[in-house]
């Protein structure tokens, strides 16, 4: 699991189904903090076997996954809280070097990685490129 980075999702497969992509999804990771433009953000932890995404803002839940590199892409395989499985392909976004950090408030979370920013609150997630 990378300590920081900016990725664009190229596809998702649920429960062994076909790999599809129907919208732009950006995931930013700055140290233990992450934000996903689908509308959830929080912290990650690693237990030696998998990475746990603890949703603290936005969509509730906790996902668990493993990562491996396939060329320049990150391949994530995991399990959702309902027991369903997923496979996601993530491609690094350019311009991810430079400033990075994470900020939280009462009902929101923001992560910046280079020129990429994701803001998550109780209503939605938003992505901007600076």
Q: Does domain 4-129 have CATH number 3.40.50?
A: no
Q: Which two tokens stand for residue 122?
A: 């109780």
d(CA 107, CA 101) in angstroms, rounded, equals 18
Its sign, for the CA torsion 100, 54, 85, 120, is negative
Instruction: List Cα–Cα distances, 22 to 11, 12, 17, 28, 128, in angstroms.
Output: 8, 9, 14, 19, 19
Stated pTM of the model = 0.92
Residues 109-128 have pLDDT tens digits of: 999 999 999 999 999 999 99
pLDDT one-digit tens code per residue, 70-119:
999 999 999 988 899 999 999 999 999 999 999 999 889 999 999 999 99
5-62 residue pLDDT tens:
999 999 999 999 999 999 999 999 999 999 999 999 999 999 888 899 999 999 888 8
As beta bridge partners, residue 110 has 103, 119
Greater model confidence, 2 or 61? 61
């Amino acid at each position: 699991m990378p300590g920081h980075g900016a990725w664009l999702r190229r596809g998702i497969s649920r429960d062994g189904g076909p790999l599809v992509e129907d919208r732009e999804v950006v995931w930013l990771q700055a140290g233990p903090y992450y934000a996903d433009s689908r509308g959830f953000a929080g912290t990650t932890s690693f237990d030696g076997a998998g990475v746990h995404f603890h949703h603290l803002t936005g969509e509730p839940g906790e996902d668990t996954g493993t990562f491996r590199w396939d060329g320049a892409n990150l391949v994530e395989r995991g399990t959702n809280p309902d027991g369903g499985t997923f496979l996601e392909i993530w491609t690094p976004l350019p311009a991810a070097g430079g400033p990075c950090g994470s900020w939280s408030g009462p009902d929101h979370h923001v992560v910046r990685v280079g020129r990429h920013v994701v803001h998550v609150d109780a209503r939605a997630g938003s992505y901007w490129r600076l």
